[in-house]
A = this chain, B = another copy of it.
Amino acid sequence: MPASSPIPVPALSIWALPGIPEVTTGDDLVALIADAAGPALADGDILVVTSKIVSKAEGRFVVADDREDAITAETVRLVAARTGPSGHTTRIVQNRLGIVSAAAGVDASNTPDGTILLLPVDPDASARAIAAGLRARLGVEVGVIVSDTLGRAWRDGQTDHAIGAGGVRVFEDLRGTTDAEGRPLTVTLPCVADELAAATDLVKGKAARLPVAVVRGRADLVGPLDLPGARSIVRALETDMFRQGADEAYADGFAAGAASRAV
């Protein structure tokens, strides 16, 4: 916000933390982040930590020549698959965390040659542990989000999303409040955790080693460490209209239709 701004308006500052070194198995992320953030953190700040460094600290490397095998191992449910002109098959799957994404979050970029990196074991627990550690060490009430880059249905490209959250609200629940005309905002449930993750991707970049960013200005979203985690963002299967790809659902329906006639 420009210093000349005449009256207070809602504003955010977002900045990447410089000086986070290459993370390896067993590293103490709380110490690395605290050292990088220095005394700059304040009550109500929200840190967004790229899941890659959480995975690395947890030693989630797998020596694998075949990324496809690792994806299969991480997959709980195949949602859709599509083979492109190159012959490569992209699999959209739901992983053990409930997250629907391409390749189950298995990552082969920014990892040592011959290794791939799995997602953190429990990103909500990781986020809570980092938040708890930073609160204890620095004496400031911060929230932590663990982010991952995900593709989307219907829209090209990717945006960063929250896959873990500790001490920060993932939804801003406006249900029960009213609009400017006094009518209820019945279905509005902004996923602020995903919006925070997306916002920080704009300063973290993909190729640079800037895996942590800080958002200041939404202290109202920071709270106790036992707030619901990012797992609560996952839509329940029974209400998910896109729980299966169109081709897969059609094929299942076709088989069932053919069988119904055969009987």
Contact = CB atoms under 8 A, between A and B. Distances in A.
A26 interface: no
B190 A158 contact: yes
Interface string A228-263: 000011110001111111111111111111111110
B190 A195 contact: no
Interface in A1-25: 1-2, 4-7, 9-18
Interface string A152-190: 111111111100000000010010011111010100111
A7 to B, nearest CB: 6
Contacts of A149: 188, 190
A243 B161 CA distance: 22
B206 A202 contact: no
A201 B195 CA distance: 8
Contacts of A254: 253-254, 256-257, 260
A13 B10 contact: no
Nearest to A111: B181
A234 B156 contact: yes
A154 B190 contact: no
Contact of A242 (B153, B183, B217, B239): B153
Interface centre among A10, A188, A191, A233, by most B CB within 10 Å? Answer: A10
Contact of A153 (B12, B153, B189): B153
**Chain A interface bracket (under 10, 10 to 19, 20 to 34, 35 or more):** 35 or more
Contacts of A108: 183
Contacts of A255: 253, 257
Contact of A110 (B180, B203, B243, B256): B180
A194 B151 CA distance: 12
A138 interface: no
A217 B203 contact: yes
Contacts of A154: 94, 99-100, 153, 234-235, 240, 242
Nearest to A4: B40
Contacts of A7: 18
A180 B13 CA distance: 27
Nearest to A201: B195
A155 B198 contact: no
The 8 lowest CB-CB distance pairs between A and B, nearest first, are A257-B257, A253-B253, A261-B261, A199-B199, A157-B191, A250-B253, A249-B249, A254-B257
